[in-house]
Structure 1
Amino acid sequence: MAIVVESQKACTVNPLKLSQPLGATYAAMGLDACMPVMHGSQGCTSFALVLLVRHFKEAIPLQTTAMSEVTAILGGYENVETALMNIRKRAAPKMIVLCTTGLTETNGEDIEGHLAMVRKRKRELDDTELVLVSTPDYVGAFEDGYRRAVTAIVETLVKPLPTVRQQINLVPGSHLSPGDIDELREIICAFGLEPIVLPDVSGSLDGHLDSVWRGTTLGGTTVDQIRAAGASSFTIGVGEQTRDAAEMVEAIAGVPFEIFERLTGLEPNDRFLHRLAQLSGRAVPARYLRQRSQVLDAMLDSHFYTGGLKAAIGAEPDLLLSIGSLLREMGAELSVCISTTASASHALLPASEVILGDLEDMERGASNCDLLITHSHGRQMAARLGKPLMRAGFPVFDRVGNAHRCQIGYRGTMNLIFEIANVMIERISQPHPGDWKLPQSSGGLDVSIQG
């Protein structure tokens, strides 16, 4: 169990964490025909939009209520009404997810009352679902915003329905890529089960070209599918951040659930497949037994490069647990662990300490580490320390293919093991200052290798 220590610095230097509104927006991206809206200034929305576009290399639908200095003081009801009506007229979304920001949370607006009044005044919005998510960006982090958004979506739309035995709910955490969700869907369907994925960014942010264009999200979980989640026989959550949403579905519709803290590594995937076998009444398909044996061989082949490795990781809680636990199982030492927000996941991390801090905290502690793992904002730190950087999490804007990375399940675990090992092989094979020495000799040239 890791001890959680909060950094007491007066300011953040080279931030690791991202805001709650951005996390909530990311959750909304996994809903079909949806328009996420940030209730705040235009700058808040612009920064979030840039990060999403750079990470996924896709067009991102995101709107703002464009609060100004005047409306910040007098109230933003008119901004909310105008934004909702303009979005309804131009994009005709089936759902609008309104995320608050630090600005609108600080001035104490009754935003829930605003939405009720807009509903009453503007009957044109009757065919549009409105979801309000409270996400002040002066507390919490990306993972918290995502958690709150998914819970609010469930609370707003899910209703109790007669149970469909073969239907289950899958609630993926924000640390899962579209490729991860595709892998999970394939595994679940292999057992004859029908998953409702909430939210499903694999349908909207998977980097596909389509002849159809619309101003809202294109693909993801539909409104009808969200409502049908109340008929599922079971809910599976991936990551501690999904617990609130799973508990909400159980409270509303009586659907039991299980939270898998991670699906990277052997033991959690063994439990996952065992649970699917129980739910479906089917044996584990032979191809997954084969994949399990491949993971074991991958661990055997790679442990030469990970055994004794000292790693520094900076990530959101569930991603930190996922990567950190696998590294520990591969014989690595978690020397520095930096995270963004409080989470029950930290108690499961096989490390002595987790610091809630920034990339400067990570850099200060990583001078003796062999590998750095964090998002793209850690590239300058890696250059200063002269250490290899494995990019993970969000945002990764200086690499392509982020939507298709798969790091869960047996196959994804094997991919991640090979990625880590190959980073270390490349590090070992490259000459570095001080590796070579030309000693003084009275005879011919004598070249020796140090270390």
Structure 2
Amino acid sequence: MARVTVSKKACTVNPLKMSQPIGGALAFMGVSGCMPVLHGSQGCTSFGLVLFVRHFKEAIPLQTTAMNEVATILGGLENIEQAILNIVKRARPSVIGICSTGVTETKGDDVDGYLQLVRRRHPELDDLGIVYVSTPDFKDAFQDGFGKTVTRLIQSFVPGSVASRRAPQKINILAGCHLTPGDIDELRDIIESFGLEPTFLPDLSGSLDGHIPEDFTPTTLGGVTKEEIAAMGGAAFTIAIGEQMRAAATELERRAGVPFELFERLTGLAPNDEFVALLSRLSGRPVPAKYRRQRGQLVDAMLDGHFHFGGKRIAIGAEPDLLFSISQWLTEMGAEIVTAVTTTQSPLLEKIMTEEVLIGDLEDLEARATGCDLLITHSHGRQASERLQIPLYRMGLPMFDRIGAAHDLSVGYRGTRDLIFRMGNMFIDRIPEPTPETWRSADAGQDGTALATATDTPLTNAH
């Protein structure tokens, strides 16, 4: 078991983590017709907007309550009310998702009370879904804000009563923030192959998968609707992916009696065996031949790749769920996790196969990564990679110096197989190209005499 420690530095030098409200805003972007709003200053929203635009290379719907010095002191009721009315007038969303920020949390704004007053003053907003999440950015991190928002969406839209009848083919998928839109698309294909009907919450594959809509919309382009969220209480089962989704799955079970199973990761052979076995039990169908073949391809890729992964020293900096998923898979491939740095507490951290997991920043990662064969983190690790002369494999958010980040695939048999190929090829690229001098030294013994070659050995009957 790993020892979990917290950096005691006076300040963060090169940040690894992103804030809770950014994570909450991303979760809201997986809801159809939603307008995420950060309750804080314009700068908070501008930062998040730039980060998402650079990562997804898409137009991002994100608004602000534009708190200034006076509003911060006196309270944000007027700002929230005006922001909601302006958004309804201009964008006509079906859901407005509000995330708090550090400045309004420090002031102590009673946003839930504000929203009750706004609804009393404006009965025309009765059909509008308004969801508020407390996400102070002076504590916790990106995946905490994401998980809290999913839980709050369930509390806001799923009726608090156990369904008398359940749809046996409908299942809920609570997708953690470490899953890309491409990962969600892959999981949907797998689940539907068993004849099941999945509802993803949130569903980033519908809103941030890079498709071009027929008409411009100021809100999210797609995702799960609030009606579909409400119907999640009538599903037969819930599959939660990532420890960050445990609270949401527990809340859904408490409110509607939907049983759940949590998968800590879906990268690797064993967790995907368990995943497809569960789908087979839920559907009553055998595993499709396509996935039996993909499993065989993954096993073959593991055999081909373990020569290149074995003994490699890896340094990883990522959110806890992504860190656990990739580090456990790398350990299974024969690599050694020398350095593991993360952003926030999680029960998974102690399970990681390394001596220490540090809650710190990219400076801590760089200081501990000397002599490693590969650095894994998001795009802000590129300077450390250059200084250390270690190749960087980009994972997580933000990934702003590459295109196609939304379609990166690392789950399922196929995603794990392709991850082996991509990362294994990076190890191969580090092997120096042979030169005439190295060939001559390889072909000669220490005394300068030629070594025996295959042609010097008489051919014999193999039988």
Amino acid at match of 1:25: A
The CA deviation string for residues 66-113 of structure 1, in whole angstroms up to 9 with x for no partner, is 000111111110000000000000000000000000011000111110
What SS does structure 2 have at the residue aligned with 1:138? coil
Q: Which residue of 2 aligns with 1:136?
A: 136
How many angstroms apart in 1 are the aligned matches of 2:385 and 2:5? Answer: 23
Q: Which residue of 1 aligns with 2:455?
A: none
Amino acid at match of 1:405: D
The CA deviation string for residues 420-448 of structure 1, in whole angstroms up to 9 with x for no partner, is 1011111224699xx99xxxxxxxxx9xx
**More displaced, 421-430 or 15-24?**
421-430
Larger Rg: 2
Does residue 48 of structure 1 match 2:29?
A: no
Q: Which residue of 2 aligns with 1:443?
A: none
Q: For residues 81 and 314 of structure 1, do their structure 2 counterparts lie closer, same or farther at Cα, with a shift above 3 Å needed?
A: same
Q: Which residue of 1 aligns with 2:84?
A: 84
Does residue 201 of structure 1 match 2:204?
A: yes
Amino acid at match of 1:249: L
Q: Which residue of 1 aligns with 2:96?
A: 96
Q: Which residue of 1 aligns with 2:403?
A: 400
How many angstroms apart in 1 are the aligned matches of 2:233 and 2:433? Answer: 55
Q: Which residue of 2 aligns with 1:246?
A: 249
The question of whether the paired residues in 1 share the 8 Å contact of 2:375 and 2:390 is answered with yes
How many angstroms apart in 2 are the aligned matches of 1:84 and 1:59? Answer: 21
Amino acid at match of 1:89: K
Q: Which residue of 2 aligns with 1:122?
A: 122
Does residue 221 of structure 1 match 2:204?
A: no
Q: How does 1:7-406 map to 2 (within 5 A)?
A: 7-159=7-159, 160=161, 161=163, 162-406=165-409
How many angstroms apart in 1 are the aligned matches of 2:284 and 2:223? Answer: 28
Amino acid at match of 2:386: A
What SS does structure 1 have at the residue aligned with 2:199? strand
Q: Which residue of 1 aligns with 2:459?
A: none
How many angstroms apart in 2 are the aligned matches of 1:431 and 1:387? Answer: 20
What SS does structure 1 have at the residue aligned with 2:348? helix
How many angstroms apart in 2 are the aligned matches of 1:8 and 1:112? Answer: 35
Aligned-residue Cα RMSD (Å) equals: 1.5
Q: For residues 353 and 112 of structure 1, do their structure 2 counterparts lie closer, same or farther at Cα, with a shift above 3 Å needed?
A: same
Amino acid at match of 1:12: T
What SS does structure 1 have at the residue aligned with 2:258? coil
The number of residues matched between the two structures is 436
TM-score normalised by the chain length of structure 1: 0.95
The unaligned stretches of length 5 or more in structure 1 are 437-445, 447-451
Q: Which residue of 1 aligns with 2:442?
A: none
How many angstroms apart in 2 are the aligned matches of 1:52 and 1:94? Answer: 22
Shift of 1:169: 0.2
The question of whether the paired residues in 1 share the 8 Å contact of 2:193 and 2:288 is answered with yes
Amino acid at match of 1:76: G
What SS does structure 2 have at the residue aligned with 1:344? coil
How many angstroms apart in 2 are the aligned matches of 1:56 and 1:321? Answer: 24
Shift of 1:127: 1.6
How many angstroms apart in 2 are the aligned matches of 1:381 and 1:307? Answer: 24
Shift of 1:271: 0.5
Q: Which residue of 2 aligns with 1:449?
A: none
What SS does structure 2 have at the residue aligned with 1:399? coil
How many angstroms apart in 1 are the aligned matches of 2:387 and 2:315? Answer: 15
Q: Which residue of 2 aligns with 1:441?
A: none
TM-score normalised by the chain length of structure 2: 0.92
What SS does structure 1 have at the residue aligned with 2:126? helix
The question of whether the paired residues in 1 share the 8 Å contact of 2:213 and 2:221 is answered with no
